[in-house]
A = this chain, B = another copy of it.
Amino acid sequence: MTIPGTAAEAKQELGRTRRGGRAANAAKRGGDGPFSQPPFRRLRVPFPPTRLISDDELEAIHLASLRVLEEIGIEVLHDEARAIMRRHGADVRDDTQRVHFDAALVMEFIAHCPSEYTVFARNPAHNLSMGGDSIIFAQIASAPNCSDADNGRRPGNQADFRNFVKLAQMHNIIHCLGGYPVEPVDIHPGIRHLECLRDIVTLTDKCFHIYSLGRERNQDGIEIARIVRGVSPEQFRDEPSCFTVINTNSPLKLDVPMMEGIIQMATHGQAIIVTPFTLAGAMAPVTVAGALVEQNAEALAAIAFSQMVRKGAPVGYGGFTSNVDMRSGAPAFGTPEYMKAQIVGGQLARRYGIPYRSSNVCAANTVDAQAAYESVFSLWGCIHGGANFVKHAAGWLEGGLVCSYEKMMLDIDLLQMVAEFLAPLDLSEDALAVEAIREVGPGGHFFGSPHTQARYRDAFYAPLISDWRNYETWTQAGSPTAMEHANRLWKARLAAYEPPPMDAAIREELDDFVERRIREGGAPTDY
Contact = CB atoms under 8 A, between A and B. Distances in A.
A365 B467 contact: yes
A72 to B, nearest CB: 5
Contact of A286 (B73, B284, B368, B451): B451
Contacts of A447: 281-282, 329
A438 interface: yes
A401 interface: yes
Contact of A421 (B340, B367, B420, B421): B340
Given A327-B1, A370-B465, A481-B366, A294 B427 contact: no
Interface string A215-256: 000000000000000000000000000000000010111000
A53 to B, nearest CB: 6
Given A47-B51, A432-B64, A437-B251, A285 B460 contact: no
A79 to B, nearest CB: 17
B467 A364 contact: yes
A426 interface: yes
Interface string A49-85: 0111100010011001001100111110000000000
A290 B436 contact: yes
A438 B71 contact: yes
A32 interface: no
A20 interface: no
Contact of A470 (B328, B368, B370, B376): B328
A325 B427 contact: no
A451 B285 contact: yes
A449 to B, nearest CB: 8
A170 B424 CA distance: 42
Nearest to A362: B466
A471 B280 contact: no
B483 A287 contact: no
A479 B441 contact: no
A285 B365 contact: no
Contacts of A328: 1, 468-470
B442 A251 contact: yes
A182 B340 CA distance: 35
A326 B449 CA distance: 13
Q: State the oligomeric state as a number of copies.
A: 2
Given A368-B483, A369-B482, A457 B326 contact: yes
Contacts of A457: 326
A471 B153 contact: yes
A47 B57 contact: no
Contacts of A486: 369
B376 A282 contact: no
A443 B75 contact: yes
B252 A441 contact: yes
Contacts of A414: 373
Contacts of A74: 442
Contact of A425 (B344, B426, B455): B344
Given A369-B369, A433-B290, A281 B67 contact: no
A445 interface: yes
Interface in A397-440: 398, 401-402, 410, 414, 417-418, 420-421, 423, 425-428, 430-434, 436-438, 440
Q: Which of A47, A71, A153 has the most CB of B within 10 A?
A: A47
Interface in A443-490: 443-447, 449, 451-452, 455-457, 459-461, 463, 465-471, 474-475, 479, 481-483, 486
A330 interface: yes
12 contacts: A68-B437, A285-B451, A287-B432, A287-B433, A290-B431, A328-B469, A344-B425, A367-B369, A368-B482, A369-B486, A370-B465, A376-B376
